[in-house]
Structure 1
Amino acid sequence: MLSIDRLRELIAEGSIDTVVLAFTDMQGRLQGKYIHGEFFVQDVLSHGAEGCNYLLAVDTEMNTVDGYAMTSWESGYGDMVFDLDLETIRRLPHVPGTAMIQCDLKLVDGSPLQVSPRTILKQQADRAARLGWQALSGTELEFVVYNNSYEEAWTARYLDLVPANQYNVDYSILGSARVEPLLREIRNATYAAGLTPESAKGECNLGQHEIAFKYDDVLSTADNHSVYKTIAKEIAAQQHKAITFMAKPNEREGNSCHIHLSLRGADGELVFWDEQTGQRTALYDHFIAGILTTMREFTLFYAPNINSYKRFQKGSFAPTAVAWGIDNRTCSIRLVGQGQSARLENRLPGGDANPYLAIAAMLAGGLYGIEHELELEPMMLGNAYASGAPTVPGTLQEARDLFAASAIAREVFGDDVVAHYTNYADVELAAFNAAITDWELRRGFERH
């Protein structure tokens, strides 16, 4: 990561000529502006930049839609402020002469924009800090690689694409080697951009791979996650390939985003593990119980799209049961590690999850469990798919209804956040319900 003084030096000497100001929108995408380096130093650095507030009130296609309190045609679609976080300055080595700064979003009066995903996560991290804890997390994100460019995929309507591997390459060295030029470039570029990639490995779907990154504080992890997804897509495009993080790109295994999370004391001391007894602490159990208690109501933040719910299939390593177990991959919450490494893994989110919202949901639920001293239910033994345990919502509609009616969501996130993201779900549902799918055409064009 770069200091602001170092960025000034690089711009002055001509090594950096472009500064990208970026924020993460509701859909988890980086949005923003490309700023000329000298203009950034002379003008933008002192007061930030502005952008239309509709950017947090559009659908995936960037259409203006109704139902959001913060924007409307009647209010004139005003501006919001890009407030530079100067702790996030990084080079983008795959793009010549370019650095990036991530931003918080504020209203023109300087107050935080409460429905911004980064603000939502920061508020939960601050809540943990007030209680004396720091929250740490790491993400494991899967994607599928195709030997087609994004333009070719679009023109082909995403049909008959050529996967980078023709068979299951889970943990296969040979299978990873087939796409190592791409994986290596992503690892090296993200490392140079301030991330710490740990490993890459093949997965089960055809052309599917995973890159994992070292844990960090929750805000840095979410920032890095968003940057990584953008860098990975840009490098794939440079190599005339396409990668997708969508939760269920075909009928085979979906793309997951397993999120690891733990709390530490303000000075790094263990709070999830009692070293004297070698056991979990009561605080850890309350935290797990809170995540489980809120899981169904907060699923909208873990699975934000219509397609997200296609991934939840029995026997698929994508969870369906609201249950926890020790190193049990059939559960939605899997406990791993001991001592310093003690942490929980949330296996519910897919590759399409917005990292700020998903981590915020985990942290909010866990803190709720601590504050209310919720009792942890018995551990799941055996196959959670066949256990009869409560299940996660099966559709976006069900998740939307649970979130909208959740008293806990309103307590921990606020009414404005609940209303905003309920409308997000309503917009997606309306768009999908109005669409004619290829499934309908294949089944009904001739035979109905």
Structure 2
Amino acid sequence: MSAPDPYERLRADAEAGSVDEVIVAVPDLQGRLQGSRLSVPYFLEEAARQGFGACVYLLASDVEMGTGPGYAIDAWNAGFGDFVLRPDPATLRALPWDEGTVLVLADATWPGGEPVEVAPRQVLRTQLDRLAERGLTAFAGTELEFLVFLDSYRQAWERRYAGLATATSYNVDYALQGLSEIEPVVRRIRREMVRAGLAMETARGECHAGQYEIVFRYDEAMTTCDNHVFFKNGAKQIAAQEGVALTFMPKFDEGEGNSCHIHLSLRAADGTPVLADAAAGDGMSDLMRHFVAGQLACLPDFALLMAPNVNSYKRLQPGAFAPTGITWGRDNRTCPIRVVGSGSSLRIEHRVPGGDANPYTAVAAAVAAGLYGIEHQLELPAPHTANALADPSVPRLPATLTEALHRWESSEIAAKVFGGPVVGHYAQAARTELAAFETAVTDWERLRGFERL
């Protein structure tokens, strides 16, 4: 029996008066959703069939929506023309916090129908297609942490994000008390995400005051990334409606940062898990050993896709309980690659990405790295059993965005597996971020130098 057509269900809901608008959105380079609201009749009669035009600069801009030369998409020379957003009906879902509205994610294509290869969804699809050629499918889960503040977004902006009140007063990691001020908003986020179709697994307070984590069920990699951007967008909207603010930025202050640990496993075409081998002494198949070895080999070159901003590297520093070296371990949270689970649940946990990571490019990087290890039959070194954060013998991850950019641009592996346009496009995004940071005067500089220098 075939699944019901989501567009027919949408038509029925519109006729019943429960839906009157459709948001068509594309994930941008930062993993944010950009798009437009369409009436249901216009969507069904036009956009669902022919696509919907949107300006090409949406996939060639920084966090401030600034664009310029250097990207693979040159919006200025293209006259700020349009590409076509083609809705993916599998992503259509209602927004419980926005009555009468549904959202559908779209793929960016050129007018002739060719995919925009630098679009985050397409970057991931390319790597998943490479996996499929080997008869493999990737399953992923993302664990997002965020900080909740009792101030509204407007109040936080007017205060330039200084002196904000966290929604818990102290470390509430696994705590069942001290959550009275944070629970109203996170309870609403949990419940409305479930109403929207996400399958929640766990939720708990975290280490930083005001920090919380909600974990949703793993799924096929593209679906997980779609759920990830849907969740981030919706959580912020719900927080705004509740008069509070939340942030996913990797490092808000000197306290614990916000991570986005990515769990990743592989299955054969028939759904059989392929990473485990009960006959092996460590329970890992040869394919998994190559897959993990590929993560280690590519981590320095692919770090930019997992840590794309200046602030990303404030989290990846010694003493921050985030990975700083290149190694792996069994159930060792001090390693960037943690092998966890057993049997059919055996998987890697990639601990480098922070809350700012674009899930599509981060998962694409992990898949591409694993494929590199498989294709080259890389040997896996012994697991790290001690504290990798305190071991000076462990090779280091890039410590700054500048270093990550250099590794990415000069990487022969990246050029081969992602292609020159993708490498150049995301390099330009990093250069734009660095240029903005290097010309900014920070509060730290004023405090340090206003009077005393």
Normalising by structure 2, we get a TM-score of: 0.97
| Matched AA of 2:138 | A
- 1:347 CA displacement: 0.6
**Cα distance between partner residues in 2 of 1:242 and 1:178:** 13
1:367 to 356, 365, 371: 371
Could you tell me which residue of structure 2 aligns to residue 171 of structure 1? 174
Asked if residue 401 in structure 1 is aligned to residue 418 in structure 2, the reply is no
RMSD of aligned Cα (Å): 1.2
Consecutive unaligned residues in structure 1, runs of 5 or more: none
**Per the alignment, in what secondary structure is the counterpart of residue 313 of structure 1?**
coil
**Cα distance between partner residues in 1 of 2:216 and 2:418:** 28
Contact 1:336–1:343 (CA under 8 A) maintained in structure 2 = yes
**Cα distance between partner residues in 2 of 1:270 and 1:353:** 27
- The correspondence of residues 308-319 of structure 1 with structure 2, limited to 5 A, is 308-319=312-323
Asked if residue 446 in structure 1 is aligned to residue 442 in structure 2, the reply is no
1:418 to 403, 420, 423: 423
- The correspondence of residues 119-268 of structure 1 with structure 2, limited to 5 A, is 119-268=122-271
**Cα distance between partner residues in 2 of 1:414 and 1:442:** 44
- 1:47 CA displacement: 0.8
- 1:13 CA displacement: 1.6
Contact 2:56–2:75 (CA under 8 A) maintained in structure 1 = no
Could you tell me which residue of structure 1 aligns to residue 11 of structure 2? 8
**Cα distance between partner residues in 2 of 1:42 and 1:128:** 36
Could you tell me which residue of structure 1 aligns to residue 395 of structure 2? 390
Could you tell me which residue of structure 1 aligns to residue 53 of structure 2? 50
Identity across matched positions, percent? 50
Could you tell me which residue of structure 1 aligns to residue 284 of structure 2? 280
**Cα distance between partner residues in 1 of 2:78 and 2:96:** 41
- 1:133 CA displacement: 0.7
2:306 to 302, 306, 311: 302
Once the two structures are overlaid, the 10-residue window that deviates more, 124-133 or 175-184, is 175-184
**Cα distance between partner residues in 1 of 2:62 and 2:280:** 51
* Superimposed CA distance per residue, residues 141-199 of structure 1 (whole angstroms, 9 cap, x where no aligned partner): 00000001000000000000000011000000113443222111111111121211111
**Cα distance between partner residues in 2 of 1:176 and 1:280:** 40
- 1:268 CA displacement: 1.1
Contact 1:289–1:376 (CA under 8 A) maintained in structure 2 = yes
Asked if residue 432 in structure 1 is aligned to residue 437 in structure 2, the reply is yes
* Superimposed CA distance per residue, residues 233-267 of structure 1 (whole angstroms, 9 cap, x where no aligned partner): 00000000000000001110000000000001111
**Per the alignment, in what secondary structure is the counterpart of residue 309 of structure 1?**
helix
**Per the alignment, in what secondary structure is the counterpart of residue 208 of structure 2?**
coil
**Per the alignment, in what secondary structure is the counterpart of residue 26 of structure 2?**
strand
Contact 1:410–1:418 (CA under 8 A) maintained in structure 2 = yes
Change (3 A) 1:447 1:2: farther
Once the two structures are overlaid, the 10-residue window that deviates more, 270-279 or 255-264, is 270-279
Contact 1:11–1:17 (CA under 8 A) maintained in structure 2 = yes
Contact 2:135–2:268 (CA under 8 A) maintained in structure 1 = yes
Contact 1:65–1:427 (CA under 8 A) maintained in structure 2 = no
Could you tell me which residue of structure 2 aligns to residue 98 of structure 1? 101
**Per the alignment, in what secondary structure is the counterpart of residue 304 of structure 1?**
coil
Contact 1:2–1:91 (CA under 8 A) maintained in structure 2 = no
**Per the alignment, in what secondary structure is the counterpart of residue 78 of structure 2?**
coil
| Matched AA of 2:431 | D
1:289 to 288, 293, 297: 293
* Superimposed CA distance per residue, residues 4-27 of structure 1 (whole angstroms, 9 cap, x where no aligned partner): 211111112211101010111001
**Cα distance between partner residues in 1 of 2:77 and 2:229:** 33
Could you tell me which residue of structure 2 aligns to residue 354 of structure 1? 358
- 1:378 CA displacement: 1.5
Contact 1:59–1:65 (CA under 8 A) maintained in structure 2 = no
| Matched AA of 2:94 | R
- 1:66 CA displacement: 2.3
How many pairs were matched up? 448
- 1:276 CA displacement: 4.1
**Per the alignment, in what secondary structure is the counterpart of residue 273 of structure 1?**
coil
Consecutive unaligned residues in structure 2, runs of 5 or more: none
- 1:54 CA displacement: 0.7
**Cα distance between partner residues in 1 of 2:54 and 2:78:** 15
Contact 2:328–2:383 (CA under 8 A) maintained in structure 1 = yes
- 1:340 CA displacement: 1.0
Asked if residue 30 in structure 1 is aligned to residue 29 in structure 2, the reply is no
**Cα distance between partner residues in 2 of 1:244 and 1:34:** 25
Normalising by structure 1, we get a TM-score of: 0.98
